[in-house]
Amino acid sequence: MDPSSTPVVRRTSRRRLLQAAGVGLAAPALTGCVTSGGNDDDAAVAKGRTSAENPLGVPEKTPLEVVIFKGGYGDAYATNAEALYQQRHPGATIDHKGIQKVGEALQPRFVADTPPDVVDNTGAGRLDLATLVGAGKLTDLAELLDAPSIDDPARKLRDTLLPGVVEDGTLDGKVYSLNFTYTAWGLWYSKPLFDRHGWSYPTTWEAMLALCAEIKKAGIAPWTYQGKYPEYLNDPLLAMAAKAGGQDLVRAVDNLQPGAWKQQPLLDAAGAVAELAGRGYLLSGSEALSHTESQAAWSQGKAAFIPCGSWLEAEQKGITPDGFDMVMGAVPALGAGDKLPFGALLAASSESFLVPAKAKNPRGGLEFLRILFSQPAARKFAELNSTLPSVAGATDGLTVSTGLGSVRGAVAAAGTNTFTYRFRTWYAPLAKAVDDATGELATRRISPAQWADRIQQAADAIAKDTTVTKYRR
């Protein structure tokens, strides 16, 4: 599994079911051609002279081939970055391809060692990062990260990225991919609705329960959730646990430590979710609603809070009534003893860019990324897509919608206090066990203790399974 993918990608893949099935059908056909390639003697890699203007030594006349996943974000932001590349390197011709099935198109080229120079490896049909790394098909991006940034040559590119972005592309201690978009998770509500009733966003769970009682009195369901896909409800649960238990708790969970799921903060967070259900604070029937149905109910004002990632505003475009002005807040603190501050965020990057090891112009590929991750290119992306890029400060001064503005504010407030669980992408069967258990927890068919027991069993089974590749962080 791709350790840098996020629930955004997971969700897309579920919706693109048939598309994915098509890729799957094509997969067996690829088995026959996997043993070729592996030519070890490196061809002389084209390299130009390095200078302050050209720190990565891009050869001036070598063409550049860029392959972009043309999904929800389109590829206009990439052609924009290519134009900037062309300005800096007028001698180069650029071959741009915006495609949907990245894996299908590129697997044979990786096998034959004739890959493009830079790839946006995203979407349901993307190539598995761990497999590519294992086969030695990718360039280590350390040099790029240590290169001076376009906007301020005194700062390394590494230092211009939002917290966690470098880690998200790291596998076995080396950085092989750089993720361009940034997703944060939290609780969403309509600001005008809260203002009208004089409600303020609760920063502790106690305050949340008190507010829920008031919301219910006003004739609105306090919460709804995307019950058909219980992973959406996991996000606030796991975020609350991580804030209470700190990064150590997250690491213990991801590293499959014995008893990791029975840590007190996880039990408390599960208890909190169970309490919402127990007190009747969940919109009835939520457990059978899809993400579109529950989010529509929320947009219609039938429920006050909904947990979701920062893509929600863009997804609800066209459904949200005027003046709804949605905003996202960090999940409340479980208690006074929390290890991370209230503003700490569950956040991760996605839209994974990589430079193939056998590219004809790897220097150009790296340079393209240096340009893409610059302020002007990232800003253009934010303008085009209302999504936060993973470049720090890229949207500063930009007039943005309430949703994106609140996400930007939350990310700024969190600072380095962001965290992300990796088990979802490392151990998909464990993710399913957690989803199932949380679905049962939210309908009160199991208790928080049973919730922890079930998941711990699943985690132990994976820890014992010798056929599963283990990762550590």
Partner 1 sequence: MAAMRHGKYRFLAGAILPGLLLYAVFVLSPYAQAFYLSLTDWTGVSGQVTFVGLENYQRLLDDRSFLAALRNNGLMLLVVPLATIALGLLLAALVNFGGRRGSTMLAGIRGAEFYKIAYFFPQLLSLPIIAMLWQFVYHPNEGLLNGFLRAVGLDALARAWLGEPGLALWAVMAVLVWSSVGFYMVLFSAAMESIPRDVLEAAVLDGAGRLATLRRVIVPLLWDNVQVAFVYLGVLALDGFAIVQIMTVGPGGPDGATEVIGLGLYRSAFTYGKFGYAAAMGVALFFLTLAFAAIALRASRRERVELS
Q: Which of 60, 95, 128, 248 binds partner 1 (CB under 8 A)?
A: 128
For residue 418, the cross-strand partners are 345
Distance from first CA to last CA of the chain, Å, rounded?
15
Rounded Cα gap, residues 233 and 235, in angstroms = 5
Site string for partner 1, 301-330 (x = CB under 8 A): ------------------------------
Minimum CB–partner distance for residue 20 and partner 1 (Å): 6
* 463 counts as binding partner 1 under rule CB under 8 A: no
Count CA within 13 A, CB hemisphere, residue 154. Answer: 0
Distances (CA, A) of 185 to 11, 247, 370, 419, 442: 14, 17, 27, 11, 19
Q: Which of 15, 27, 146, 218 binds partner 1 (CB under 8 A)?
A: 27
* 445 counts as binding partner 1 under rule CB under 8 A: yes
Rounded CA Rg of the chain: 23
The angle subtended at Cα 39 by Cα 38 and Cα 42, nearest 5°, is 125
**Which span sits near partner 1 by CB under 8 A: 81-89, 115-123, 267-275, 285-293?**
285-293
- For residue 160, give both structure tokens: 């211009």
Q: Which among 24, 102, 88 is positioned nearest to 60, based on CA atoms? A: 88
Instruction: Reduce the DSSP state of residue 360 to 3 states and report it.
Output: coil
Count residues binding partner 1 (CB under 8 A).
41
Minimum CB–partner distance for residue 438 and partner 1 (Å): 10
* 20 counts as binding partner 1 under rule CB under 8 A: yes
* 439 counts as binding partner 1 under rule CB under 8 A: yes
* 34 counts as binding partner 1 under rule CB under 8 A: yes
* 467 counts as binding partner 1 under rule CB under 8 A: yes
Minimum CB–partner distance for residue 182 and partner 1 (Å): 25
Q: Which of 289, 354, 377, 452 binds partner 1 (CB under 8 A)?
A: 289
Residue 234: which H helix or E strand, with range? helix 231-254
- Closer residue to partner 1, CB minimum distance, 111 or 382: 111
* 279 counts as binding partner 1 under rule CB under 8 A: no
**Which span sits near partner 1 by CB under 8 A: 21-29, 75-83, 252-260, 318-326?**
21-29
Label the pairing between strands 174-175 and 170-171. Answer: antiparallel
- For residue 382, give both structure tokens: 């934010």
Label the pairing between strands 303-309 and 178-190. Answer: antiparallel
Question: Which residues lie near partner 1 (CB under 8 A)?
Answer: 1, 17, 20-21, 24, 27-28, 31, 34-35, 103, 107, 111, 127-128, 131, 134-135, 227-230, 283-285, 287-290, 293, 297, 428-429, 432, 435-436, 439-440, 443, 445, 467
